[in-house]
Structure 1
């Protein structure tokens, strides 16, 4: 997973999920997906799409794009929904992998500074506070 993100950053000279998705030919759309769905990834007629909830902050839209890009790279052939976790259920393995991929991609080339808290590092690199749990530093 880390190798996949590192390869994309190296190949496209950016860790911006929007630029990488465009370079890979993935179409990005914005829609009102309600309150619980942040984004989704699907394929239709050999075309790949990332749909992002238009009501999200820029920070969350960037994270969701990276997360859905993770599904494209890690879970070929599957269409996935990124749902807000407001339940007592543990997020599935594929969702955890996509979250970890997103964090790896978005923090590529960045390191936690001496004395910097994980929360401050996440904020500096544009990772939503709610995703701190998925950091593997």
Structure 2
């Protein structure tokens, strides 16, 4: 199975089991701790495990929109089993990746946020992204 297909299937499973496609609520439903720390303005979030307990750290400087997609991205690291050696999601690395753990985390984020959404209801990709809380930099991960 292609990586992209596996991630889409996993995202569907996670949303179905949690009963929501909201990244923060998915964390709540699955015992994934989320905390806010002063990471500075450059960093949006990070994922790690502490003694096998998953932890997502979001920047206290994020707005609600940034928290939502950063949490979805960090959930991607968790569910794609990337371990503790993932990059920090920073404002400087918000770009389209074609391989690696950042590609997988971004693809997972987009797939959970689109789960259950009828894309045919939107006239443009930009309308879809805005309605689903997906940042414009992630548009290339969306397949219509």
In the superposition, the TM-score normalised over structure 1's length comes to 0.88
Total equivalences in the alignment: 137
Q: Return the alpha-carbon distance in structure 2 between the equivalents of residues 91 and 115 of structure 1.
A: 26
Considering fraction of residues, name the structure with more helix. Answer: 2
Q: Return the alpha-carbon distance in structure 2 between the equivalents of residues 94 and 82 of structure 1.
A: 11
Gapped runs of 5+ residues in structure 2? 1-6
Q: State the match for 1:107 in structure 2.
A: 114
Gapped runs of 5+ residues in structure 1? none
Q: Which runs of 4+ in 1 moved over 4 A?
A: none
Q: State the match for 1:126 in structure 2.
A: 133
CA contact (8 A) 1:67 1:99 kept: yes
Q: State the match for 1:36 in structure 2.
A: 42
**Structure 1, 11-20 or 125-134: larger mean CA deviation:** 125-134
Q: How does 1:1-137 map to 2 (within 5 A)?
A: 1-80=7-86, 81-85=88-92, 93-113=100-120, 116-137=123-144
In the superposition, the TM-score normalised over structure 2's length comes to 0.84
How big is each residue's C-alpha offset from its partner over 1:71-121, in whole Å with a ceiling of 9 and x where there is no partner? 000024334221223599x68621111011001001111122356110111
CA contact (8 A) 1:30 1:52 kept: yes
